Chain A
């Protein structure tokens, strides 16, 4: 579902919150690497594993994306 300022999210709920991407954005948040946590979530679910504290994982990933 889009919103009224046309900035949006790939999923109905994201791990990162909504992002504003402009021509000056330093990072492309749609890269496969940045989406690795989503891939992990699917992989864990498909194998009957457990995923905990995804927010904490998102912080680690976000920190590495800024260096």
Chain B
């Protein structure tokens, strides 16, 4: 029997949907993790591009009655009307009563007016129907059966339409709406609320990790609209949409320094104190390129970016003492830039696009309750394979009999403190049973950790090496698993490669093999 046969739970970052990260084992759904964030976010996708999660900006993409309305005319829409392209009974019938009628929905979350609306439509072959993005109509001729149609435009309004202006069809079925930034429709991505979607991130290699981050706010408005920042001293020119940016769209800006000076966006007070600024940048030629962040009103390059011909994300952490914070360059600099971020904290987190207001991305919390049957009660093993991005980033895994506040009172947890050691503790009714810890924090990068337990016999392995043991401990009852937690302010920041449970205490040789990097 291998560890694969005996595992009671294996979760890898591969299968997901809104609010759910699928477990590989068990396969009946009882081990699927709940994911909560309640905001959208970004990730680095498998192509290495910064991507909105979800990239489909249209909520409830398979229900054209949710949020849609008759902007012009008397229109009837019926959800779950017929068989959709995926075989489910989820198409929506839209019945217009005449020409020049508009079925409309507002779109939010756009950071770029260049977008594409795509939708599957079925109707009478040869008839026409109009689809519109941002005020631009595209009258399409319907083919037989279900077909996907799209319209790309530089929008002037944040609405999409299905309308009968200049068209002949009045009775159609629709399914699978999608709005994306840029001129490519992209593969269809089903949405509902667009929230709570696990983020599979490829920043660390060709295989994904589950990105877990704390709540952060990008306080800098117009994060990718450098031309419209409020202040500059006339020493630079900005060309919007100059280059393909790290998100794969032609929306990076060019900064040419005709003199030595600065540009910043002032709208109010930032949170003062420890702050991290970040930006994606690359050089446009091989000349002198002194370009970087100016800090606390200096107006000069205080932190120079080591630019190359490739996109990189540069970050800098400092003590923010006033609101005059932005970019600066010396004459001759010719740089492409994308995605400015200013966030309170000692390290940068994933890019949070902003337009007219600051934007907060909530913390990622992954949990599962009611799984006492999957967690060893009198003995067991918890294994985690993680990636730690920096020394300030904590992480927390908890086996307990509840989630949320005070769940640690009956638990075993693995907790990497920020800028400190990693501890593995066990509590029963609030009484500490054992504590096994490193002398210093684990290094940045990938680590495999396992804690195996039974009464008076606990052991922790880290990266193939025995970290410590305890021979006088009781074990609490378990029914829940949680990553990140309100008790530490949901401050975890790391990537998860896999998590597994066994209902037996694995022997030391097996633990060593399991945790070897």
Contact = CB atoms under 8 A, between A and B. Distances in A.
A57 to B, nearest CB: 4
Interface string A19-37: 0000000010001011011
A40 B27 contact: yes
B24 A67 contact: no
A50 B12 contact: no
Given A43-B27, A53-B200, A67 B14 contact: no
B14 A40 contact: yes
B7 A64 contact: yes
Interface in A35-64: 36-37, 39-41, 43-44, 47-54, 56-57, 59-61, 64
A50 B23 CA distance: 13
Contacts of A65: 2-5
Nearest to A26: B2
B15 interface: yes
A64 B513 CA distance: 10
Given A36-B27, A40-B15, A52-B46, A67 B190 contact: no
B341 to A, nearest CB: 26
A36 B4 CA distance: 10
Given A37-B24, A47-B17, A67 B189 contact: no
Contacts of A3: none
Interface string B3-21: 1110100101011110010
B35 to A, nearest CB: 12
A66 interface: yes
Contacts of A64: 2-4, 7, 10, 500
Contact of B14 (A39, A48, A53): A53
Most buried by A among B7, B12, B20: B12
B246 interface: no
Interface residues of B, number: 32
Most buried by A among B22, B513, B514: B22
B14 A33 contact: no
Contact of B29 (A41, A43, A50): A43
B208 interface: yes
A65 B7 CA distance: 10
Contacts of B510: 67
A52 B208 contact: yes
B157 interface: no
B46 A53 contact: yes
Most buried by B among A37, A47, A48: A48
A35 B240 CA distance: 50
A61 B498 CA distance: 10
A22 to B, nearest CB: 18
B206 interface: yes
Given A33-B4, A33-B5, A40 B24 contact: yes
B207 interface: yes
B14 A36 contact: no
A50 B189 contact: yes
B22 A43 contact: yes
Nearest to B25: A36
Interface in B487-517: 497-498, 500, 510, 513-514
A66 B3 CA distance: 8
A41 to B, nearest CB: 8
24 contacts: A33-B4, A40-B15, A40-B22, A40-B23, A43-B15, A43-B27, A44-B17, A48-B190, A50-B189, A52-B14, A52-B15, A52-B46, A52-B208, A53-B14, A56-B208, A57-B14, A60-B10, A60-B12, A60-B24, A61-B10, A64-B3, A64-B10, A65-B5, A67-B2
Given A50-B17, A52-B46, 16 more contacts: A31-B5, A34-B4, A39-B27, A40-B27, A50-B189, A53-B46, A53-B208, A56-B208, A57-B24, A60-B10, A60-B497, A61-B10, A64-B3, A64-B7, A64-B500, A65-B3
